[in-house]
Amino acid sequence: MEPGVVTILGACLCAVTCVVTLAGSDSEFAWLEAIARVLMVGAPIGVGVYARRRPPFERFGALLIIAGLGWFVTTLAESSDPVLYSTGRVAGWIVEVGLVYLVLAFPLGRLGDRIDRALVWAGAALVLVLYLPTALLVEQYPVPATWTSCHAGCPGNAFMVAGSEPTVLGDVVLPLRETLTVLLFAAVAGRLGLRIRRATPLARRALAPVLVVACLRLVAYALAIMGRRIWADSGLLEVAVWLVALGVPVMAGAFLLGLWRWRLYIATATLRLAGRLRTHPPPDDLRAALAEAFDDRSLEIAYWLDGEGRWADAAGRPMALPAPGSRRWSTEVRDGDRLVAMIIHDVALRDDRAFIDAATSYAVLTLDNHRLSAQTASLLREVSESRARIQRSADDERRRIERDLHDGAQQRLVALRITLELAAEETDGVDVERAERLRGLGAEVELAIDDVRSLARGIYPPALADHGLVAGLRSAALRMPLPTTVHADGVARYPREVESAAYFCCLEALQNAAKHARGATAAVVELSDDAALRIEVRDDGAGFDVDAVTPGVGLVSMRDRIATVGGSLALVTIPGEGTRVVATIPPAVDRAPDGRASGAPEPQRPPL
C-alpha cells in the first residue's frame, strides 16, 4: 500500500477514535482521553510509514502499521455499544501478543532465534486457551482495563453464549491466566535485557531506547493485572492502567528514536569511511577503516581467487565464510558482474543498504587491487611450498644415495679388498710376483673405498645428520681448500630442512670463495641466533663490483635454498674489502615436515 494511502487511512482512523472516545466517555477529562487514544492509533501508523521508506526497516514498518490498525480496534472499547465494546476488549488481548512480537522483532521485523519465537508462541497459546474462550462465558469484562476508561456501568459482554457465568472462571481460570501473563511478561522483559547486554555496538544504539521502554511497559502491565486483585480500590491502579495505555505511543516514539539513531550512525560512519578511503590504502588499513567506520572490530575481508575457486585473506591464506545462523554476515562486493571480495561483518547490517552501498562503492577499486594482491600472494605461497617440496625431495634423495653407497658399493669394495688380501697370502709362497699384484689391487680398492666415503660425506654428511649444523660445518671446514674457521655460540638444533638449507648454502659460499676470491687467504663462517638464525660467510679476498658481475648458478642456488625455509640472502662485497654472504632464517618454521619437533635430532645412523 502506498504511503499516502496509509497516511490518509491513519488520519481517518484517528478521527473515528476521537469521536468514539468522546461519545463514550463521561469523564471531565474526555478530551485528554481522546488525545491519548488517538496517539495510540496514530503514533504506530506514523512511525510505520516512516520506517517503510527507510531500508532495512520496511518489514518492521509494515508490522507497525498493522499494529496501529489493531490498536484502533481496541479503542472501540470506549464505545457504549455492547458489540463495539466487546470487540474492543477482545482485541485488547490479541494486540498484546502483537506488541510482544514487535518488541522482539525490532528493528528488522524478524524474530531473532528460537527463544524469541517460543515466547511469541507462548503468548499466542495463552490468549487462545485462557483468554478468547472466556469471551463466550463471562457477563462482564474485568475493569479497570488498559483499553477503556469505563469503570462502572460498562456495557455487558455481547458475545456471551452461556446461560450464566461458570464459577470456575473466577476461581481458577482468571487467576491462572493472570499469573501466567505476569510470568510471560517477566520472561519477555528478561529476554529484552539480555538482548541489550549481548547486542553489538551498532544494534545497541537502536535497541536501547526501545527495549528500556518495552521493559517498563511490560512491568506496568504486570502490575496492572495484579493490582486488580490486590489494590482494586486504590488510585495507583488507575495510574498503572493509564501508564500501560500511554506506553503504546511512547514505545512508538522509542521505535522512531531507535531508527533515527541507527540512520544517524550509518550516515556518520559513511562520511568517516569516505574520508579514510580517498586514497587506495593497503589491506590492513582498509579493513581497519571499515571496522572503525561501522564499529565492528571483528570485521574481516575475504578475497575471491578466480583461478583457485576459493576465499583467501590478504596474505593468500584460505578463509571460511561464516556459517548460517551465526552472528556474522557476508556482504558481496562486486565490480559489475565480477565478484571481487566479501566483507564479513555484524549480522545487524545485513539488510542495511546504506552500509552495503557505502562499503562496496568506496572500497570496490581498492578491494579489486587487494584481490589481485591476494591472488599473487597465494601463487607465491604455492611456489614457495613447491620449492620446499622439491628441496626436501632432493635432500631425501641425497640420504638415499648415501645409504645405498654405505650399504651397497662400500660393503662390496670392503669384501673385495679382503678377498684380494686372502688371495695374496695364499699365493705368496708359490708366486711372489702374483701376490704383489694382488696386494697392489687391494691398495687400489682401498683408495676406491676412500673415494666412496668422501663422496658419501659430500652428499649428506653424517656430522650434519647426527650432531647438527655446527658440527657439520666444522667437519666440512677441515676439508676446504681455503683455511676456514667456524664461529658459533649458543646455536642449537633446528628442523632438518633448516639445517640442510643453511649447511649447503655455507658449503656453496665456501666453494665460491675458494674458486673466485682472488688473493683470499682464509674464510670465516659465523652463526648466531637472536630470534632468527643468522649465517655469515666471509673471505678476505679482493672482492668485486656486484653490478658488473652476472649472478651465477651458485648464488641462485643459495637464494633458492634459503627461500624454501622462509629466509632471505644478501651478497655484500666491495672491491678490495672481501665478500660477505649473509642469510637470515626467521623462526617461522617450528616443525619439520616429517613431524619432528623443532630442534629434534634425526634418528642415529651407522657411520660410514
What is the distance between the terminal CA atoms of the chain, rounded to a whole angstrom? 92
pLDDT at residue 316 above 60?
yes
pLDDT at 131: 92
Model confidence pLDDT, tens digit, residues 182-232: 888 888 888 888 887 877 666 777 778 887 887 787 778 777 777 766 766
Per the model's pLDDT, the better-predicted residue between 49 and 200 turns out to be 49
Residue 396 has which C-alpha cell? 631425501
Report which of residues 597 and 245 the model is more confident about.
245
Could you tell me if 369 and 349 are in contact, meaning their C-beta atoms sit under 8 angstroms apart?
no
Confidence of residue 376 (pLDDT cuts 50, 70, 90): low
pLDDT reported for residue 417 = 74
Instruction: Report residue 600 as a C-alpha cell.
Output: 629434534
530: pLDDT confidence band, cut at 50, 70 and 90? confident
pLDDT band at 72 (very low <50, low <70, confident <90, very high): very high
pLDDT at 593: 38
d(CA 338, CA 155): 68
Instruction: Tell me the C-alpha to C-alpha distance, in Å, between residue 358 and each of 2, 10, 287, 354.
Output: 28, 34, 14, 6
Distance, CA of 165 to CA of 154 (rounded, Å)? 17
| pLDDT for res 595 | 36
Better pLDDT: 124 or 532: 124
pLDDT at 367: 57
> What is the side-by-side order of every strand in the sheet holding 300-305?
310-312, 300-305, 338-346, 328-335
* Beta strands at 568-573 and 579-585: parallel, antiparallel or unpaired: antiparallel
Cis peptide before 55 (omega within 30 of 0): no
Asked whether residue 374 carries a pLDDT value surpassing 60, the answer given is no
Largest Cα separation within the chain, whole Å, is: 151
In tens, the pLDDT along 239-270 reads 777 788 788 888 888 888 888 887 787 778 77
pLDDT at 591: 37
Rounded CA gap, 332 and 340, in Å?
Answer: 8
| pLDDT at residue 596, rounded to an integer | 38
Which of the two residues, 556 and 129, has the higher pLDDT score? 129
Residue 586 backbone phi and psi in degrees, to 5 = -70, 165
Q: Which of 264-268, 305-309, 483-487, 562-566 has the highest mean pLDDT?
A: 483-487
Burial class (CB in 10 A: 0-12, 13-18, 19+), 604: exposed
Kindly report, residue by residue over 283-293, the tens digit of the pLDDT: 677 778 777 77
| pTM value > 0.85 | no
| pLDDT recorded at residue 383 | 61
Strands (E), 338-415: 338-346
Instruction: Output the pLDDT for position 36.
Output: 85
Separation of alpha carbons 197 and 450, rounded Å = 79
Residue whose entry in the numeric block shows the C-alpha cell 538482548:
195
DSSP string, 153-179: S----TT--SSS--HHIIIIIHHHHHH
Bridge partners, 537 (sequence order): 525, 581
Q: What percent of the chain has pLDDT over 90?
A: 13
Most confident of 113-127, 133-147, 265-279, 544-558: 113-127
Of 323 and 131, which is predicted with more confidence?
131
User: How many of the other CB atoms lie within 10 Å of CB of 437?
Assistant: 14
Residues 44, 64 contacting (CB under 8 angstroms) = yes
* Confidence band, pLDDT 50/70/90 cuts, at residue 416: confident
Chain segment 433-446, per-residue pLDDT in tens:
777 777 787 777 77
Lowest mean pLDDT across 99-103, 416-420, 533-537? 416-420
> Whose grid coordinates read 695364499?
426
322 compared with 222, residue with greater pLDDT: 322
Domains of the chain by range and CATH?
3-267 (1.20.1070), 283-399 (no CATH), 468-599 (3.30.565.10)
* Alpha helices by DSSP H, 405-529: 410-427, 432-459, 462-467, 469-477, 496-516
CB-CB neighbours of 60 under 10 Å:
23
- The answer on pLDDT for 430 being more than 90 is no
Phi, psi of 86 (to 5 degrees): -65, -40
Contact 360, 370 (CB under 8 A): no
CA separation for the pair 97, 83 (Å, rounded): 22
